Structure 1
Amino acid sequence: MPAKYSHVKKRSASGLLKKSSTNGHIHTVKDSPTHRGTLNPHVDRSITQAMTAVSQLERAIARILLLRYEQDIARLFSTRLFSVALVHLPTFVMRCVTVGGPSWVAQNADCDEIKDFFRAAIGMDMRQAGERVATKSVLWTYNALRHFAMSNNVTICSTRGLHSLRLLPHYPALKAHLDSLESGPSPTFTKPPHLGPLTEGLDALEEACELKYVADRGDWPADWRPKIRAGYERVSQTLWRVAREFDVRGYGLVLRDKLTTKWCDCGCSTDHLAEVCERTVREDEEESGVRPGKQREWDGRGSGVLGWGTEEEEDLWELDLDFGGVDPEECEDKADTDMTIGELMEWRYLKAEREKETGNAAFRKGEFEVAAGHYEAADKIEPEIPHYQLNLAAAHLKLNNWMDAEKACTKALGQHRSGKGYFRRAKARKMLGRNEDAIKDLRALLRIQPGNNEAMAELSALLPPVPRDPHIHDLPADQGSSSRPPPSSSSSSARHPVPSNHDPALEPTRLKSKPPKPLPFERTKADDRKLRIALVPMTVDMPISSVPASSGKQKAKAKGAAAQMRAESFMYPNWERYVVRRISG
């Protein structure tokens, strides 16, 4: 659970259960002096059965929390993507056409340069989403469970909230709800139905282009408007395609860790959660009252949640939330304990990036074990960023640690289905003798990057040769040629040739997909320009004590300089701090 819940003292699930003082584990002890010795085996069996039922209940509640969280992060981040397309993409198109010309974005919307920039910015947004959505989602689910309990006349404590054991008689209903959640499709990013088209963004883009390039300079062609429109529409489609490479089930690791490993199965998890959420729910009800239909919508959707599925839905990226997923002990070396959540997240990212850069330096020197240690440290600091695991996989490949490399890639691919992740895992699986799995990874890579020649070469080497029919060579030249199928009319196979020994059943599905519709205007020489999207370093004032000290004197000095700050610069991918430059053409 988020760090803000860590101050709540855990309690046993009922008065019949107490925590042993010997090793911290939960033991079933009858609260009676006559049962302090060896427990009656019959009593033992009954308590064990009761604990099994409670464990099933707790696991079901935890699973409901996680599944609904995945739905929430997919839905809320879809709203975020719509906001990016509406607010930030017009500026992005403007910067690109300033350098490349009015039709450059339309002709190059699917190029690797644009997609890599989108991947970096979305990755940083997803890192925040895992933390920002968790608090809200947990509160929504608790609210739903609370009103489900109220509809079944279950008592709710005014201070400690909903006691998990009180839901035990209603476990079948909770299990049915869990089954319905698990049977549903995997959450993915899709445009929220209540949001309209991107008309405002397109109008703002056209107006800005007309003022800057038509009215002032007059050096643009007369047909610039459909080119700009096509560029904006295509780059918006690219944004959604890149976003779907990310898997929401790989984020929210703080919440997952708390629900699955750091809470016992005796019922304290729901109680621990309820004590915090109950105050928030009651404060909300005191301020806004109990909204009509709230108790009927126990599943937490519809009218049970303020703003759900409406334009008034809260934008979590505009708020200063009250938790950042950082435990207090993780920040012992920072002087300012009053840092905002945004500053805490920047501090943590900066700390992880330092570990990564140190690992990169060791990697370049051939010190792969040292590099692996730094990459592991970076991932421990920032587990919501997959590229630290990809770096770790590269180090393990150099050390011939094939199983560790595969494990690191699998973890990274659980968050983002990247080309590097698939390629490095394919290499590890090939060395482990699992060629079929390596082929699957290479096919997945080519669906993302159909023009990756290195992956195509690896796939060609792994695919079994296609047996030839000897009778074809015995035919006359004219008959042999006539028996061959005519060349495909699709241009995609010409642009991305498959291996000569390929098996059609193993051919990447991307190569079979239809090419995009042709644009209503010709490609110009300016559209062949190579542009680079470069991030602008971000400078943040950080407490001196959070900056690693290289000597004992510096450490001692930092302890007495709590009010002193030091400017730190680092790359932080986002939708605002970047420049577009021409590198050729």
Structure 2
Amino acid sequence: MPAKYSHVKKRAAAGAPKKSPGKTSRSPNPHTDRGISQAMTAVSQLERAIARILLLRYEQDIARLFSTRLYSIALVHLPTFVMRCVALAGPAWVAHNADADEIKDFFRAAISMDMRQAGERVATKSVLWSYTALRHFALSNNIAVCKKRGLHSMRLLPHFDALKAHLDALEAMPPAAFAKPPHLGSLQEGQDALEEACELKYAARSSEWAHDWRAKVRLGYEKLSQTLWRVAREFDVRGYGMVLREKLTSKWCDCGCSTDHLGEVCERTVREDEEESGVRLGKQREWDGRGSGVYGWETEEEEDIWEIGLDFGGMDPEECDDGVESEMTIGELMEWRYLKAEREKEEGNVAFRKGDYVLAVKHYEAAYQIEPELPHYQLNLAAAHLKLSNWMEAEAACTKALTQHRSGKGYFRRARARKMLGRTDEAIRDLRSILKLQPTNTEAIQELLSLLPPSSSASSPTSSSFASSTSSSAVAEPSHTGAAAATAELHERLGIGKPKQPKPLPFARTRLDERKLKVVLVPAPAVDAPLGLCHHHQHAHGGHGHGHGAHGHTCDGRHPKDKGKGKGTSAAAAGMGTATRREKEQALEAEMLKVLEAMRVDSMTVTLPSWDRYVVRRVDA
């Protein structure tokens, strides 16, 4: 070593501790180190790990519980839909048209509203379940849990490695997606009810119903159920639970007290449930939540999240002026919130039609701030930004909408924005994504042909004949084999693969199967009459209230037989201010009545897509 560096070697040797034979040096564990900077880093890592655990478990929960919801829809609501269609067009119409765009658009609208509910309903339950699992993990490691404020995150620091191992296991799981729950049976019950109703109402009265009508109705019901699952898979569970995600990413991380906040919300509910139903021995150590208050996990008795009343329990009953519970359900709050958002959207639409796109942007942004669980406000916002040549803002709005629902409209508007930004390859990918969802979308095909290189986009008789033969009607399949062949050839030229041809049905298409039907949504009755907000009003939606676990609202973990009993308390609700609950309800009711009156003056009609608020009509009569 050169002389000028020799002192380094000497000092290092002099200051280095002597190693004992057979022992190796070990780096300090930051989660047990008592240095201030080391401890802050450890707390930050712990908080991020807990937040990530809550989020990943929530995504798995929403996929599992909404899959149960889809099964219930197929069992309860689809037979009614089939009945309304066959009443107008005969027993085989649904079998021939189950994949029609008109039907899929209705499914998309209704599922979108359901996902809006699921994002908040499941958050309430999932946060409770995950907290209970963390709590049981703490108890199994002899960690004290405060009876009032619950589990404090700092007490989990020595067990960070176990938490990280659980997080790694969650990260390794495939993305949450909708699939038929394996523990649920077939749809035979719905099929039997459908056949019985058809026989009573139509088969005995109409000569057009031949002897083989049962097979036609049965096949139509099966194909409609398959369409329901295909449409549901267009939705991404990772785009929902916005309020929960905001808290986990911006308010709970790095603060050192995330589980402190969570405990205040959940601890009382957990303890009340344990007092009523007891603690099942041997279940505390389970991380998947099965021993953590989840009733009937993966059995036919599993909780239906749509059937449990989740009320807003901001204050205890004894805190009200007259000692009477003055409860405003989350269902009422969500209905009111939807009306406010729709009014903002309608005002944005008026401004858009007048060409005032800047004002339209403001209204669409306001609507999304009120209802972040509905993607169509972002699509409206993207349309306004495209008119203003705000390409980057339009792309961002479409991307946000597509994280919730992979829609053809979202892909097309993003493709336009990316084309104008000079990112042609990304625009082409978006257009190809449209054709995977809607193989006969002529607008996307023509736009894609214009973006491809000249050698691939030259016009041909095939493409022109295909465009002319494709109908915009959404209730009938292409009836000419020539159009189907042109579609296959064009898709091959565009490099998106050959479209899958449907299997031929065992019965021929008739004139009744060519009828065009339209699904018409019925306006929400809440616009015609004010919603009851105080205890003396009748609740508009009964047991269909929605929970905001991420808001700090009620976490009700009771069994279905106990639904409606008791309310949890909320840390967020504790900051409601000095005004009484009744005063706040009266102020909200007055505001609501004012907006509803403005809607009546403007003749505004609000439709709330739902599985029971629609009619089916003929459009070719």
Shorter-chain TM-score bucket reads 0.7 to 0.9
Compared with structure 1, are the counterparts of its residues 535 and 516 closer, same or farther at alpha carbon in structure 2 (3 Å cutoff)? same
Compared with structure 1, are the counterparts of its residues 495 and 303 closer, same or farther at alpha carbon in structure 2 (3 Å cutoff)? farther
Tell me the amino acid that sits aligned with residue 571 of structure 1: T
Which residue of structure 2 lines up, in the alignment, with residue 29 of structure 1? none
Compared with structure 1, are the counterparts of its residues 559 and 290 closer, same or farther at alpha carbon in structure 2 (3 Å cutoff)? closer
1:460 matches 2:449 = yes
Query: What TM-score do you get using the length of structure 2 for normalisation?
Result: 0.76
How far, CA to CA, are the matches of 2:377 and 2:77 in structure 1?
A: 27
Which residue of structure 1 lines up, in the alignment, with residue 525 of structure 2? 539
How far, CA to CA, are the matches of 1:74 and 1:414 in structure 2?
A: 15
Which residue of structure 1 lines up, in the alignment, with residue 615 of structure 2? 579
Compared with structure 1, are the counterparts of its residues 464 and 156 closer, same or farther at alpha carbon in structure 2 (3 Å cutoff)? same
Match of 1:418 among 394, 402, 407: 407
Does structure 1 conserve the Cα–Cα contact (< 8 Å) formed by 2:48 and 2:253? no
How far, CA to CA, are the matches of 2:257 and 2:456 in structure 1?
A: 63
Which residue of structure 2 lines up, in the alignment, with residue 60 of structure 1? 49
Q: Deviations over 1:211-263 (max 9, x none)?
A: 11122445412211111011000000000000000000000001111111123
State the Cα RMSD in Å. Answer: 2.7
Compared with structure 1, are the counterparts of its residues 324 and 492 closer, same or farther at alpha carbon in structure 2 (3 Å cutoff)? farther
Match of 1:397 among 374, 386, 393: 386
Which residue of structure 1 lines up, in the alignment, with residue 244 of structure 2? 255
Does structure 2 conserve the Cα–Cα contact (< 8 Å) formed by 1:73 and 1:133? yes
Does structure 1 conserve the Cα–Cα contact (< 8 Å) formed by 2:111 and 2:232? yes
Which residue of structure 2 lines up, in the alignment, with residue 51 of structure 1? 40
1:318 matches 2:307 = yes
Query: What TM-score do you get using the length of structure 1 for normalisation?
Result: 0.80
Compared with structure 1, are the counterparts of its residues 129 and 398 closer, same or farther at alpha carbon in structure 2 (3 Å cutoff)? same
Q: Aligned-pair distance for 1:306?
A: 2.2
Which residue of structure 2 lines up, in the alignment, with residue 519 of structure 1? 505
Which residue of structure 1 lines up, in the alignment, with residue 552 of structure 2? none
Give matches, 1:56-205, under 5 Å.
56-205=45-194
Does structure 1 conserve the Cα–Cα contact (< 8 Å) formed by 2:132 and 2:292? no
Match of 1:507 among 477, 492, 495: 495
Question: What is the SS of the residue equivalent to 1:450?
Answer: coil
Does structure 2 conserve the Cα–Cα contact (< 8 Å) formed by 1:545 and 1:562? no
How far, CA to CA, are the matches of 1:201 and 1:545 in structure 2?
A: 36
How far, CA to CA, are the matches of 2:170 and 2:607 in structure 1?
A: 39
Question: What is the SS of the residue equivalent to 1:93?
Answer: helix
Compared with structure 1, are the counterparts of its residues 293 and 496 closer, same or farther at alpha carbon in structure 2 (3 Å cutoff)? farther
Tell me the amino acid that sits aligned with residue 69 of structure 1: Y
Match of 2:346 among 351, 357, 375: 357
Moved more, 311-320 or 390-399: 311-320
Q: Aligned-pair distance for 1:514?
A: 3.0
Compared with structure 1, are the counterparts of its residues 337 and 323 closer, same or farther at alpha carbon in structure 2 (3 Å cutoff)? closer
Compared with structure 1, are the counterparts of its residues 193 and 543 closer, same or farther at alpha carbon in structure 2 (3 Å cutoff)? closer
Q: Deviations over 1:534-567 (max 9, x none)?
A: 0111212326999xxxxxxxxxxx9799599668
How far, CA to CA, are the matches of 2:453 and 2:44 in structure 1?
A: 50
1:430 matches 2:419 = yes
Question: What is the SS of the residue equivalent to 1:192?
Answer: coil
How far, CA to CA, are the matches of 2:310 and 2:588 in structure 1?
A: 30
Q: Deviations over 1:89-121 (max 9, x none)?
A: 000000011111111110000010000000000
Does structure 2 conserve the Cα–Cα contact (< 8 Å) formed by 1:295 and 1:304? no
How far, CA to CA, are the matches of 2:613 and 2:456 in structure 1?
A: 55
Does structure 2 conserve the Cα–Cα contact (< 8 Å) formed by 1:405 and 1:428? yes
Q: Aligned-pair distance for 1:299?
A: 2.8
Q: Aligned-pair distance for 1:163?
A: 1.2
Q: Aligned-pair distance for 1:323?
A: 4.5
Does structure 1 conserve the Cα–Cα contact (< 8 Å) formed by 2:338 and 2:371? yes
Q: Aligned-pair distance for 1:161?
A: 1.4
Does structure 2 conserve the Cα–Cα contact (< 8 Å) formed by 1:131 and 1:324? no
Which residue of structure 1 lines up, in the alignment, with residue 555 of structure 2? none
Moved more, 203-212 or 148-157: 148-157
Does structure 2 conserve the Cα–Cα contact (< 8 Å) formed by 1:294 and 1:305? no
Compared with structure 1, are the counterparts of its residues 562 and 456 closer, same or farther at alpha carbon in structure 2 (3 Å cutoff)? closer
Q: Aligned-pair distance for 1:390?
A: 0.1
Q: Aligned-pair distance for 1:413?
A: 0.2
Question: What is the SS of the residue equivalent to 1:168?
Answer: helix
Q: Aligned-pair distance for 1:340?
A: 2.2
Compared with structure 1, are the counterparts of its residues 564 and 122 closer, same or farther at alpha carbon in structure 2 (3 Å cutoff)? closer
How far, CA to CA, are the matches of 1:388 and 1:294 in structure 2?
A: 44
Q: Aligned-pair distance for 1:337?
A: 7.7
1:209 matches 2:198 = yes
Moved more, 303-312 or 445-454: 303-312
1:494 matches 2:485 = yes
Give matches, 1:280-299, under 5 Å.
280-299=269-288
Does structure 1 conserve the Cα–Cα contact (< 8 Å) formed by 2:312 and 2:328? no
Which residue of structure 2 lines up, in the alignment, with residue 381 of structure 1? 370
Q: Percent identity at matched positions?
A: 72
Question: What is the SS of the residue equivalent to 1:311?
Answer: coil
Q: Aligned-pair distance for 1:305?
A: 2.7
- Could you say which structure has the greater relative contact order, defined with CA pairs below 8 angstroms and 6 or more residues apart? 2
How far, CA to CA, are the matches of 1:545 and 1:229 in structure 2?
A: 44
Tell me the amino acid that sits aligned with residue 496 of structure 1: T
Q: Aligned-pair distance for 1:159?
A: 1.9
Compared with structure 1, are the counterparts of its residues 122 and 364 closer, same or farther at alpha carbon in structure 2 (3 Å cutoff)? same
How far, CA to CA, are the matches of 2:130 and 2:327 in structure 1?
A: 30
Q: Aligned-pair distance for 1:530?
A: 1.0
Q: Deviations over 1:358-397 (max 9, x none)?
A: 1111111111111111000000000000000000000000
Does structure 2 conserve the Cα–Cα contact (< 8 Å) formed by 1:544 and 1:562? no
Question: What is the SS of the residue equivalent to 1:362?
Answer: helix
1:446 matches 2:435 = yes
Tell me the amino acid that sits aligned with residue 308 of structure 1: W
How far, CA to CA, are the matches of 2:161 and 2:388 in structure 1?
A: 51
Tell me the amino acid that sits aligned with residue 353 of structure 1: E
Compared with structure 1, are the counterparts of its residues 165 and 303 closer, same or farther at alpha carbon in structure 2 (3 Å cutoff)? closer
Question: What is the SS of the residue equivalent to 1:532?
Answer: strand
Compared with structure 1, are the counterparts of its residues 378 and 131 closer, same or farther at alpha carbon in structure 2 (3 Å cutoff)? same
Question: What is the SS of the residue equivalent to 1:534?
Answer: strand
Compared with structure 1, are the counterparts of its residues 274 and 545 closer, same or farther at alpha carbon in structure 2 (3 Å cutoff)? closer
Tell me the amino acid that sits aligned with residue 434 of structure 2: L
Does structure 2 conserve the Cα–Cα contact (< 8 Å) formed by 1:51 and 1:266? no
Does structure 2 conserve the Cα–Cα contact (< 8 Å) formed by 1:545 and 1:559? no
Does structure 2 conserve the Cα–Cα contact (< 8 Å) formed by 1:352 and 1:381? yes
How far, CA to CA, are the matches of 2:172 and 2:513 in structure 1?
A: 47
Q: Deviations over 1:7-64 (max 9, x none)?
A: xxxxxxxxxxxxxxxxxxxxxxxxxxxxxxxxxxxxx993122101100000000000
Compared with structure 1, are the counterparts of its residues 375 and 138 closer, same or farther at alpha carbon in structure 2 (3 Å cutoff)? same
Which residue of structure 2 lines up, in the alignment, with residue 474 of structure 1? none
Does structure 2 conserve the Cα–Cα contact (< 8 Å) formed by 1:97 and 1:103? yes
Q: Deviations over 1:315-334 (max 9, x none)?
A: 11122213499xxxxxxxxx
Q: Aligned-pair distance for 1:341?
A: 1.7
Moved more, 274-283 or 44-53: 44-53
How far, CA to CA, are the matches of 1:564 and 1:71 in structure 2?
A: 36
